[in-house]
Amino acid sequence: MTAHDPAMGRVAARLNEPLKLPGHSLDGIDTQRLAKRLVIFTPGGREIEELVARARVALPGLAQASVVHRVVSHNPDALWAIARKRNFNSAAPKGEGFLAFLPLNHQGMRKLIAGELDPSDPDLSLVTSQHEKPAGIYVWAAFAPGVLVGGVPLAFEKVWTPTYRDADLYSRGVTVDGYRFLDALGFERGASYGGVTNMHMHMFRRSSAAEREKHPLYDGYRGAVSPTALSVTVARTIEDMMRVVAMRSAVYIGEQECPYEEEFDGNDFSGTNLLGYVGDEPAGCIRIRYFADFAKIERLAVRKEFRNTRLSFQLVRAAIELCRTKGYQRLYGHAQRRLVKFWSRFGFEVLEGGRELVFSDFDYVEMVMTAPRNENAIAIGQDPYVVIRPEGRWHLPGVLEASSKRAVSRPSVDSVREKIA
């Protein structure tokens, strides 16, 4: 579907230009703000034909509409239409632009990197089905003229779901603007897969499942690799709690004018606080409290200057994953009414028959979600050393395991008698 362009000579020249740091990486875009003006939806048959016809005027090398139909029938997640909200009619949706993906299996990725994949008529045996995890995702085509370009990050959210989030993203810039756009989104020039490199492609690296198992989302901070890197960790020290207090004071007391005693409610040492970082700067936090058969996620705060990042998403996902690892399947929260849509992105739903609440001058609704237990959830009968490891570091040997290598100290009978006496 990717188009070839007569400006390829200028594109090649751009490879020799210095790379500018991206100002709005895919990991650093406020999609909530974009969603106020734009809509993303799955187009139907006639909409696909009209979208492709419109795009082929600007990009004559695009695949035929019949090919797009065939791919979308195989995997509906391959195409997402973009429209301005003011023009959108849900009864008769009409797209103005689109973003297309090819989720590829291992063989498909090998052919892509080798330059043997035909994007104008892809072999469906190389494309994964809708519920199959891909080895990599090829950004097949983007057509988003004018203000519609803001919908591209919204469409990219569709490949941050559990099925797709482990797969790296690949693309090929075939115009000067295409190269600039990929650079701005944080794609690297030069792509690799399976030890093979293609310097004519771009790549956006994401953590693999193996890497996440090594460092779970809730224990990702190890000192930042870049000033824009996002990470989350458990607050374990008094200094960490000082960071939490500082951020919640800035957000809730400073911005929302919440009284001190209402914000710091006596529950901060009865649960788990997670810290979010942008680079090495503490930028957000969230709290989890535990009850018999559910966990409550609450007190999400992100500093104002970092709300153009995806840190709020990372904090919520980390909190959910930590709860799942502790064995919780029922999660609960009180969401400000204006943020119901935000929480619904993660699977939360308004509690049927639940109450509306008002506290600290805001209105709230009860929300719940059911999350499957982590396959490695902590349970009795497993390694007993795991439960005495530091909170959120159950994947790493703890200091008490190291102490087990020392000889066991058994007091003598005489010393026991002396202590009794």
**Domain coordinates of the chain in residue numbers?**
8-206, 213-377, 384-421
What is the SS3 assignment for 65-81? HHHHHHHHHHCHHHEEE
CATH topology of domain 213-377: Aminopeptidase (3.40.630)
Buried b (16+ CB within 10 A) or exposed e, 9-27: eebeebeeeeeeebeebbb
Helix axes 45-58, 65-74, angle to 10 degrees: 130
Sign of dihedral through CA atoms 116, 117, 123, 129?
Answer: positive
Q: Which residue has the tokens 């990929």?
A: 182
Instruction: Give the pLDDT score at 214.
Output: 62
- Residue in 123, 99, 101 with CA at minimum distance from that of residue 111: 123
Sign of dihedral through CA atoms 202, 206, 209, 214?
Answer: positive
Instruction: Give the pLDDT score at 382.
Output: 87
Instruction: Give the pLDDT score at 417.
Output: 56
Query: Distance between CA atoms of 308 and 30, rounded to whole angstroms?
Result: 4
In 3-state terms, what secondary structure has residue 349?
strand
CATH number for domain 8-206, candidates 3.40.630.30, 3.40.50.2300, 3.30.110.30, 3.40.50.300: 3.40.630.30
CB 27 within 8 A of CB 73: no
Query: Distance between CA atoms of 380 and 224, rounded to whole angstroms?
Result: 35
| Cα angle 392-310-268, degrees, rounded to a multiple of 5 | 40
Instruction: Give the pLDDT score at 14.
Output: 34
**Topology alike, domains 8-206 and 213-377:** yes
Euclidean distance between the first and the last CA atom of the chain, given in angstroms as a whole number: 88
HSE-CB for 311 with a 13 A CA cutoff: 29
Backbone angles phi, psi at 263, to 5 degrees: -75, -45
Mind listing the pLDDT tens digit of every residue in the chain (421 residues)?
443 333 333 333 332 333 333 344 555 544 455 556 788 888 888 888 888 888 888 777 788 889 999 999 999 999 998 888 888 787 788 888 898 999 999 999 999 999 999 988 999 999 999 888 899 999 998 888 887 877 787 788 888 887 888 789 999 876 676 777 787 777 888 888 888 888 888 998 875 444 544 678 999 887 756 777 889 999 999 999 999 999 999 999 999 999 999 999 999 999 999 999 998 899 999 999 999 999 999 999 999 999 988 899 999 999 999 999 999 999 999 999 999 999 998 999 999 998 888 888 888 999 999 988 888 899 999 889 999 999 999 988 888 887 887 777 666 656 555 656 5
Query: Distance between CA atoms of 415 and 406, rounded to whole angstroms?
Result: 21
Query: Distance between CA atoms of 117 and 2, rounded to whole angstroms?
Result: 11
Instruction: Give the pLDDT score at 164.
Output: 87
